Amino acid sequence: MSASRTADHATRAAALPPAVMLVGVSGVMMFVPGAYGLASGESADARSFLAYGGLTLALAAMLALALAPGARRRPAGSYLATLVGAYALLPLVLALPFHQAVGNTRFLNAYLEMVSSLTTTGATLFPDPARLSGTEHLWRALVAWMGGFFALLAAVAIFAPLGIGGFEVLAPARAGRLERKGAIAEVADPAVRLRRFGVMLAPVYGALTLALWVGLLIAGDQPLVALCHAMSTLATSGISPVGGTTGAGAGLAGEALVLLFLVFALSRRSFTRERGTRWGRELRADPELRLGLALIGAVSAALFLRHWWGAVEVRSGQDVFEAARALWGGIFTTASFLTTTGFVSSGWEAAQNWSGLHTPGLLLLGLAVFGGGVATTAGGVKLLRLYALALHGRRELERLVHPNAVVGGGTISAGSGATEGKGEQYGVRAAYVAWLFFMLFALSIAALMLAFSLTGLDFETTLVLTIAGLTTTGPLLEVAESAPVALSGLGDAAKLIFAATMVLGRLEALAIVALASPDIWRR
């Protein structure tokens, strides 16, 4: 027993602090756009990224010496605080080569661009793709891709044991508190979990990105465009070097591939499965996936019928091809904004031209608020919380029909088959914590809109900025209103508030509240 404890202490002593690892990984990643710049003839950009890559690695080495870890086990709260610091401070390092490469922009703009990328928001101060070089576009997509993996890793290694980030619905009794029983919390501290799950998730995340990249290449995209779109799809950032899928060469085939891979943002079961169950059966029974597909189908059908009715009024005959494009545009764009990716289909504009009706931006705002699955790269409220509230609503309606039935103390299973009996049950307590998060989300919207309004912005702009930041859906700034919201035209105070909004949206208000809980700082 003592030998195992000694080995465990040695493993912890040899491990680098998470802050050092993040800075070191950032330095290594800077060599990727540097190498691309050399290969593509963008030598000035290449020199910036290669030089800052070396300086960042040197900084990581100095931090490793200064923050040499000891054998003492760190509390879980310190890792949650590290997440907050990473999203706020790491973009300062990531912005250095980008600022030097772009040249004629302020460092605050470069910092905001990197916060947007790291949080997988995808909002940009450079709406014209020609404003940036291919090397700079690659860096934005690469940072967002790293941010997506970072979000996945933090969800399973940090949020899950603390019962936040959507996991409070699965274990409502310990929402926001450290689990004190079981091997996961007692044997493996957050550092061990980060290493373990990092090794497990990295090959899967990379392989899926590679598969989508190859598929988009075969469909007709240019290599850089295909790579950026593949990374942006898996990270749900919506970053594109050509203004989205509408400017790509893959066409409808490329959109179909992107839509296929967006399923990984609808359910946490896409990357993980329970022991003793089949992945396919478990995924089919997953409430998040079923609710997400139901929302996509219902909203797409409603949009199609709306455009079809508009086309009936303005045309005497019907074009089957235009109707099919309109239906596809609704399905793809609905799924894209529900997963907080923000790609717009080429059929989206075709549907509006077909019927002469414009789709209200409030619908896209609502889809982004719903969000994707728990423990995915998607933002928003999350489908699992919606499912818990829907079950509670059904339970209350049943009590109206059978008022003497005893239902308050029981639970309703999340599904059937693979999920029954596995402990994933949603009772009154689960609905309570889901509703509590909704209240925190609503209060965050009110507070942030007030903060934006104090900078002199109008109501519509403050609403779009707040929803886009809290749901990490940057493309809403371009499509939610009749005129795009230009980040470059905001004042410095509004830009900093938007940066804080994106960080809050990535971490969620419940994680910030959990930092004040003394339970996660004790061992």
Q: What gap in Å lies between CA 344 and CA 22, rounded to an integer? A: 32
Residue 375 has pLDDT above 80, yes or no: yes
17 falls within a domain: no
Q: What is the pTM of this model?
A: 0.88
The pair of structure tokens assigned to 375 is: 């423990």
SS3 of residue 406 by DSSP: coil
pLDDT of residue 459 exceeding 50, the answer is yes
What is the C-alpha separation between 384 and 430, in angstroms, rounded?
10
Containing domain of residue 156, as a range?
76-270
Domain count, the chain: 1
Residue 243 counted as domain residue: yes
Residue 32: CA count within 13 A, CB half-sphere: 18
Q: Which residues contact 135 (CB under 8 A, 6 or more apart)?
A: 33, 34, 36, 37, 40, 42, 45, 46, 49, 101
Largest CA distance in the chain: 84
> Which one has a higher pLDDT value, 422 or 104?
104
Rounded Cα distance between 126 and 131, Å, is 6
pLDDT at residue 410 is higher than 50: no
Q: Is residue 129 part of a domain?
A: yes
Q: What is the pLDDT of residues 273-306, one digit of tens each?
A: 544 445 556 667 788 999 999 999 999 998 888 7
In a domain, 86, yes or no: yes
**194 lies in some domain:** yes
Alpha carbons 471 and 464: distance in angstroms, whole number: 11
Whether 101 is in a domain gets the answer: yes
Q: What is the pLDDT of residues 148-170, one digit of tens each?
A: 999 999 998 888 888 888 888 87
**Any domain includes 172:** yes
- pLDDT of the residue at 153: 92
What percentage of the chain carries pLDDT values higher than 70?
A: 80
Q: Angle 76-204-342 (CA atoms, 0-180°, nearest 5)?
A: 85
Range with lowest mean pLDDT among 143-147, 164-168, 316-320, 401-405: 316-320
Whether residue 52 lies inside any domain: the answer is: no
- CB-CB neighbours of 187 under 10 Å: 9
Cα separation, 163 vs 345, whole angstroms: 36
